[in-house]
Amino acid sequence: MLDSLIHTNALLTKVATNPQYELQLIYTQIDRDAQNRPIFTPHTYHLNPRQYFNPASLVKLPVAILALEKLNNLNQPGVTRRTIMATGTAYRCQTPVPFAAPADSDRTATVGNYIKRMLLVSDNIAYNRLYEFLGQRPLNTRLAQLGHPNARITRRFAPCDTTANRHTNPISFHTPQGTILYKEPAKFNSVPYASPLGRVLQGRAHQADGQIIPEPYNFTTANHLPLANITTLLQGILFPTSIPATQRPNLTSSDYSFLRYYLHATPHQSGFSSYTAAQYFDAYKKYLYYGRRPETRHQSSLRIYNIVGMSHGYLADVAYFADSLHQSEFMLSAVLYVNKNGIVNDGTYEYQSIGQPFLAQLGRQIQHYEAHRPRHYRPNLTEFLAAEHIR
């Protein structure tokens, strides 16, 4: 199925058949029964959980999910995703976010605003704040409990070493007047995580401190999130009952709606005042189907819920497509490696010349096929097409 769709397009074939691109794909067909219940049929291409790729910002989705779940589990009066959050310091490589009480806005330091920034524009500092809120050990323990034992989220997006990343900051939540509603001390993971893949090396050389080192880059202690895991996590947010009850996070219906809205919203249409059309174009962060071309116009009939990653030559997009014009839907997850010179961390990658055009063409190819694929029952996509702004 997936092979035949790829091989009808020369650009897709050129990349898919070249092992240097380390392509992995999951294409999930979704059919509905008479009661509109979804049935998932995955098709894979070169999917290999033993083949490492740098997930980059893909890890922001599980961190967002678990931050909301932690708030629910704390069950502290007055502590919600809209409550002011302050971050202290207790170890090297930590940075503070002192208590501040501006008007209730998207500039306030809250769990909800951090998640918005992560999902809308892939903000790294927002991710760091929620990684610290969760703590390295609790974060990974909960991922394992939810059915992802081989996932590893062990790093901030900051130049912190392995030990510093095991230390996370003290956190407190406050009323607008400054009264502390809840606080917790700094956390430390006393037992470092081992890579589930063993020693992971990539490239013929790497750059460090402005110098080219003629040795592979070591990803052994880096974040690790297999493509099947992040696909399941996205599916669980969009279709919670498709996931076994024991593997669903403790989220409210409001949490699910909140995550869904910011997974599909474009930055300047989201209601987030900091993000203007001049800064962020319609197709920003929607690589599958749009690539990353500022001039591309966003199609109002096509709603894409997704999370992306781009770092060290790896380019990934994990997405759900809801097409109201053709009454079709599907999921598509892709990752490829575009590093022609084999030097990791030098900033010279073929994202724009190869990676993003490939992902755009792949998404369009699958969307075209799905638009014309026969179905016994057309999906009712009402829940995915509402445009309500959710705080």
113 located within any domain = yes
Give the residue-averaged pLDDT of 125-144. Answer: 98
- Which of 195-199, 295-299, 301-305 is least confident? 295-299
What is the chain's mean pLDDT, rounded?
94
Nearest residue to 269 (alpha-carbon basis) of 61, 50, 120, 386: 120
Residue 387 has pLDDT above 70, yes or no: no
76 located within any domain = yes
390 located within any domain = no
Residue 298 has pLDDT above 80, yes or no: no
Q: What is the 3-state secondary structure (H, E, C) of 100-162?
A: CCCCCCCCCCCHHHHHHHHHHHCCHHHHHHHHHHHCHHHHHHHHHHCCCCCCECCCCCCCCCH
87 located within any domain = yes
Residue 105 has pLDDT above 90, yes or no: no
Residues with Cβ within 8 Å of 54's Cβ and at least 6 positions away in sequence, in order, are 219, 222, 223, 309, 311, 312, 313, 314
16 located within any domain = yes
DSSP 8-state symbol, 353: I
Q: Which pLDDT score, from 0 to 100, does residue 138 have?
A: 98
Domain at 311, CATH number: 3.40.710.10
391 located within any domain = no
- The token duo for 124 is 């790294």
Q: Which pLDDT score, from 0 to 100, does residue 295 have?
A: 64
Give the residue-averaged pLDDT of 371-384. Answer: 94
Q: Which pLDDT score, from 0 to 100, does residue 303 have?
A: 94
Comparing 282 with 139, the larger pLDDT belongs to: 139
Per residue in 117-153, is it b (16+ CB within 10 Å) or e — as a string?
bbbbbbbeebbbbbbbbbbbbebbebbeebbbebbbb
Q: How many domains does the chain have?
A: 1
215 located within any domain = yes
Residue 1 has pLDDT above 90, yes or no: no
299 falls in which pLDDT band (50, 70, 90)? confident
Spatial separation of the C-alpha atoms in residues 148 and 229, rounded to whole Å: 6
**pLDDT of 232-250, one tens digit each?**
999 999 999 999 999 999 9
Distances (CA, A) of 249 to 120, 142, 244: 22, 9, 10
DSSP track, 359-371? HHHHHHHHHHHHH
Give the residue-averaged pLDDT of 184-210. Answer: 95
Q: Which pLDDT score, from 0 to 100, does residue 353 have?
A: 96
The whole domain housing 139 covers: 2-385
- Determine what percent of the chain is predicted with pLDDT higher than 70: 98
Residue 297 has pLDDT above 80, yes or no: no
**pLDDT of 36-62, one tens digit each?**
999 999 999 999 999 999 999 999 999
- The token duo for 43 is 């098709």
Q: Which pLDDT score, from 0 to 100, does residue 388 have?
A: 66
- Which of 10-14, 130-134, 312-316 is least confident? 10-14
Residue 383 has pLDDT above 90, yes or no: no
- Determine what percent of the chain is predicted with pLDDT higher than 90: 85
